[in-house]
């Protein structure tokens, strides 16, 4: 459905440290840099972008959910994100109000964007 998504951050260097650490457990790496934008993805294809430009940082907050292949990836994301400066919103937990196997963790990035990693696989 989406080919890529990106949003503005107030401090690209700080955001790069956070996202590089938080997304590594999902196999997502920094794959390219284009001007003021840093692209992340798998297999060399950038699908998620962060960027900064003086005076144009997004003032609201976004909620992005990345798909994990295992519950262990959710847990490793959570620890890595907190270790890289993220703020806890919700530790890894099953959320049966969505469905019986919805397992996710939510962390706020340095700009307050809500970053979720979710696994839909049963135990």
pLDDT greater than 80 at residue 94 = yes
> What is the per-residue pLDDT for 57?
54
Q: 60: which residues sit within 8 A by CB, 6+ positions away?
A: none
Q: What is the DSSP letter of 26?
A: G
How large is the average pLDDT for residues 116-122? Answer: 96
pTM of the complete model: 0.88
Q: In this structure, how many other beta carbons lie within 10 angstroms of the beta carbon of residue 4?
A: 12
**Rounded Cα–Cα distance for residues 57 and 2 (Å):** 22
> Could you give the residue ranges of the DSSP H alpha helices within the chain?
12-23, 71-83
Q: What percent of the chain has pLDDT over 70?
A: 95
Per-residue pLDDT tens over the stretch 20-74: 999 999 999 999 999 899 999 999 999 999 998 776 655 678 899 999 999 999 9
Q: Which CATH superfamily is domain 5-52+61-119 in?
A: 2,3-Dihydroxybiphenyl 1,2-Dioxygenase, domain 1 (3.10.180.10)
């Amino acid at each position: 459905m989406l080919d890529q998504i990106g949003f503005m951050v107030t401090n690209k260097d700080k955001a790069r440290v956070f996202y590089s650490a938080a997304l590594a457990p999902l196999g997502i790496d920094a794959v390219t840099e284009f001007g003021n934008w840093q692209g992340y993805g798998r297999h060399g294809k950038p699908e998620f972008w962060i960027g900064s430009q003086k005076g144009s940082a997004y003032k609201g907050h976004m909620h992005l959910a990345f798909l994990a292949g295992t519950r262990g990836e959710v847990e490793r994301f959570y620890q890595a994100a907190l270790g890289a400066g993220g703020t806890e919103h919700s530790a890894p937990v099953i959320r049966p109000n969505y469905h019986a196997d919805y397992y996710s963790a939510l962390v706020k990035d340095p700009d307050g964007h809500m970053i979720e990693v979710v696994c839909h696989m049963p135990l």
